Amino acid sequence: MNTPIYIVDAFADQAYAGNPAAVCLLQRPADEDFMARTAAEMNLSETAFVWPEEDGYRLRWFTPAVEVNLCGHATLASAHVLWESGRLDPQEEARFLTRSGLLRARQTPQGISLFFPPYGLAASPPIPGLAAALGIAEEQVLETVRYADNVLVRLGDEALLRGLRPDYIRLAALEPRAVGVTAKSGTPGIDFVSRFFAPGIGVNEDPVTGSLHTALAPYWAERLGRSELTAYQVSARGGLLYLQVSPEQVILSGNAVTVVSGLLQVDPELSYK
- Looking at the structure, do residues 259 and 240 belong to the same domain, yes or no? no
User: CATH code at 19?
Assistant: 3.10.310.10
Domain presence at residue 27: yes
What crossing angle do the helices spanning 72-84 and 210-224 adopt, rounded to 10°?
A: 120
Domain presence at residue 197: yes
- Looking at the structure, do residues 88 and 185 belong to the same domain, yes or no? no
- Looking at the structure, do residues 127 and 239 belong to the same domain, yes or no? yes
267: number of Cβ within 10 Å: 11
Domain presence at residue 114: no
- Looking at the structure, do residues 230 and 260 belong to the same domain, yes or no? no
- Domain of 239? 122-248
| Single-letter amino acid code for the residue at 128 | P
- Looking at the structure, do residues 134 and 189 belong to the same domain, yes or no? yes
- Residues that are catalytic: 46
Number of domain units in the chain: 2
- Looking at the structure, do residues 85 and 177 belong to the same domain, yes or no? no
- Residue pLDDT, tens place only, 201-244: 889 999 999 999 999 999 999 999 999 999 999 999 999 999 99
- Looking at the structure, do residues 85 and 156 belong to the same domain, yes or no? no
- Residue pLDDT, tens place only, 82-133: 999 999 999 999 999 999 999 999 999 999 999 999 999 999 988 999 999 9
Name the pTM for this structure.
0.89
Residue 273 has pLDDT above 60, yes or no: no
- Looking at the structure, do residues 73 and 12 belong to the same domain, yes or no? yes
Question: Could you tell me how far CA 207 lies from the centroid of its own chain?
Answer: 9
> If you compute the radius of gyration of the chain from its CA atoms, what whole number of angstroms results?
18
- Looking at the structure, do residues 243 and 259 belong to the same domain, yes or no? no
- Looking at the structure, do residues 62 and 86 belong to the same domain, yes or no? yes
